[in-house]
């Protein structure tokens, strides 16, 4: 009678296998890139950005703030606050080549570090926003947001791909 029923180890083997397959599927979905055009992703994020607090700025501001040249990338969207007392900003970049990702993430690290140092003495709430910055690399897209609404912006980015 006991030979007809699978044992607990046999059942556990299948459960573990199913969990591994599910994990791989989820991992592939969240680390994969997107074939969506930059303009579509930019439009979706641009629709939710609080334009009363953030203004879309040009390539010169990107170069000054991050040391990045927008002409090197397949697409760039950069919103920042016009107030020098604010750390709020949203950046979306689509790279041309995978090797550009590291240079951008290094620039993001440097931006957070320098802004944290600049604000630590007189604006602890700004430093906290910098610590809670939302960053994501998905395929050829890089997303970065410092804002009280950064989580919402990140969610829109994730859904837009």
In the DSSP assignment, the letter for residue 6 is P
Long-range contact pairs involving 22-30 (C-beta distance under 8 Å, separation at least 24): 30/138
Contacts 24+ apart (CB under 8 A), 128-134: 129/87, 129/88, 130/87, 133/108
**What are the pLDDT tens digits along the chain (161 aa)?**
455 667 888 888 888 888 888 877 766 655 556 678 999 999 999 999 998 899 999 999 999 999 999 999 999 999 999 998 899 999 999 999 989 999 999 999 999 999 999 998 889 999 999 999 999 999 899 999 999 999 999 999 999 88
The domain segmentation of the chain, as residue ranges, is 1-31, 34-160
Residue with tokens 């170069």: 63
* 141 and 101 Cβ atoms separated by less than 8 Å: no
Q: What is the pLDDT of residue 89?
A: 97
CA distance linking residue 138 with residue 125, whole number of Å? 29
Side by side, the strands of the sheet bearing 141-146 are 55-56, 75-80, 89-94, 141-146, 134-138
The pLDDT value given to residue 21: 86
| Cα separation, 89 vs 61, whole angstroms | 12
Please check whether residue 111 is in contact with residue 72, taking contact to mean a CB–CB distance below 8 angstroms: no
Phi, psi of 37 (to 5 degrees): -60, 145
Give residue 118's pLDDT: 92
pLDDT of the residue at 5: 67
Give the model's pLDDT for residue 44: 94
């Amino acid at each position: 009678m006991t030979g007809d029923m699978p044992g607990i180890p046999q059942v556990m083997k299948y459960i573990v296998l199913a969990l591994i397959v599910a994990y791989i599927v989820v991992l592939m979905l969240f680390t994969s890139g997107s074939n969506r055009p930059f303009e579509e992703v930019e439009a979706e994020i641009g629709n939710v950005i609080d334009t009363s607090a953030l203004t879309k700025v040009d390539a010169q501001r990107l170069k000054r703030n991050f040391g990045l040249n927008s002409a090197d990338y397949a697409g760039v969207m950069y919103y920042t606050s016009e107030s020098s007392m604010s750390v709020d900003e949203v950046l979306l970049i689509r790279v041309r080549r995978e090797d550009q990702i590291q240079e951008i993430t290094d620039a993001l690290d440097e931006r957070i570090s320098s802004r944290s140092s600049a604000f630590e003495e007189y604006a602890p709430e700004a430093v906290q926003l910098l610590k809670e910055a939302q960053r994501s690399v998905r395929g050829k897209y890089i997303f970065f947001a410092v804002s009280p609404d950064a989580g919402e912006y990140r969610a829109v980015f994730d859904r837009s791909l």
